[in-house]
């Protein structure tokens, strides 16, 4: 089942007014020594999203950058612990992550998200709530056979027997990005090569430059 395009709904709360802070994003970026951005890693389970995201964070941390990784499983232990894996719940899961990532960008951080995020409409929706250039979609491209071979959690095996319903790539679709900011062939490239590709992207987009003190 494919989700339909949706329009951002107004908040249900009444009598609320947006408070404009005196300390703004540009102040935090200047203090941090680098720009803020969302690195949105998407791909099948087992494609290397979390592994690459954490390895990139490690390199950025060593450079003095302010970062945080939002990992799919970790988020479902708390913020999205009330959601299942139906199409609607998947959409809500990504909506919440997008809103949280937006807050992290305003805080001046480089936020790395590792979510399957299978539907193009949902990824487009997150891009749409951010400023142009703040959302960098990184597609971890990997054949499903390779992902299954890496499956330490045995999720694919359980999905093929019907034990895990609505599993992306087996009983639920994955819509590949049509024009990602970066595509990484994780079946062919090493972890080091994948990290280098992301770091190159960050430099090309001006997120980390010689003009910043820390990075």
User: Could you read off the pLDDT of 71-91 as tens digits, one per residue?
Assistant: 866 766 676 777 777 888 889
Phi/psi zone of residue 133: left (φ > 0), alpha (ψ -120 to 50 degrees), beta?
left
- Within a domain: residue 20? no
Cβ-based neighbours of 131, under 8 Å, separated by 6 or more: none
Q: What is the structure's pLDDT at 67? A: 97
- Within a domain: residue 145? yes
For 19-52, the pLDDT digits (tens) are 677 788 888 898 888 999 999 999 999 999 999 9
> Are the C-beta atoms of residues 183 and 33 closer than 8 Å to each other?
no
The residue-averaged pLDDT of 117-134 equals: 95
Q: What is the structure's pLDDT at 11? A: 56
Burial class (CB in 10 A: 0-12, 13-18, 19+), 79: middle
Residue 133 has pLDDT above 50, yes or no: yes
DSSP string, 134-197: SEEEEEEE--HHHHHHT-TT-HHHHHHTTSS-S-BTTTB-----SS-SEEEETTTS-HHHHHHH
**Domain membership of residue 172 as a residue range:** 25-204
- Within a domain: residue 11? no
Residue 195 has pLDDT above 50, yes or no: yes
CATH of the domain at 179: 3.40.50.300
Q: What is the structure's pLDDT at 87? A: 83
Q: What is the structure's pLDDT at 3? A: 43
Burial class (CB in 10 A: 0-12, 13-18, 19+), 170: buried
- Within a domain: residue 156? yes
pLDDT band at 2 (very low <50, low <70, confident <90, very high): very low
| Portion of the chain with pLDDT greater than 70, in percent | 85
Q: What is the structure's pLDDT at 211? A: 45
For residue 121, the SS3 value is helix
> Are the C-beta atoms of residues 72 and 115 closer than 8 Å to each other?
yes
- Within a domain: residue 9? no
Counted domains in the chain: 1
Active-site position among 36, 117, 172, 194: 117
Bridge partners of 111, per DSSP, are 38, 68
Which residue from 26, 53, 36, 23 is spatially nearest to 215, judged by alpha carbons? 36
Total-model pTM = 0.86
- Within a domain: residue 10? no
Task: Specify whether 117 is catalytic.
Answer: yes
Which residue from 71, 43, 48, 53 is spatially nearest to 150, judged by alpha carbons? 48
- Within a domain: residue 111? yes
| Portion of the chain with pLDDT greater than 90, in percent | 67
């Amino acid at each position: 089942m494919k989700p339909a395009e949706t329009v951002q709904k107004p908040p249900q709360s009444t009598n609320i007014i947006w408070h404009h802070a005196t300390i703004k994003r540009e102040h935090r970026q200047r203090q941090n020594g680098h720009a803020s951005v969302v690195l949105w890693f998407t791909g099948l389970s087992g494609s290397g999203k979390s592994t690459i995201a954490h390895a990139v964070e490690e390199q950025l941390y060593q450079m003095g950058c302010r970062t945080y990784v939002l990992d799919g499983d970790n988020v479902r232990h708390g913020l999205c612990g009330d959601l299942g894996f139906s199409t609607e719940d998947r959409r809500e899961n990504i909506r919440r992550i997008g809103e949280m990532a937006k807050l992290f960008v305003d805080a001046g951080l480089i936020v790395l998200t590792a979510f399957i995020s299978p539907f193009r409409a949902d990824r487009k929706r997150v891009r749409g709530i951010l400023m142009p250039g703040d959302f960098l979609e990184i597609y971890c491209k990997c054949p499903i056979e390779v992902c299954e071979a890496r499956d330490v959690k045995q999720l694919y095996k359980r999905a093929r027997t019907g034990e895990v319903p609505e599993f992306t790539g087996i009983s639920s679709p994955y819509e590949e990005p049509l024009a990602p900011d970066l595509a990484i062939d994780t079946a062919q490239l090493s972890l080091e090569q994948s990290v280098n590709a992301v770091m190159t992207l960050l430099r090309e987009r001006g997120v980390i430059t010689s003009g910043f003190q820390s990075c």
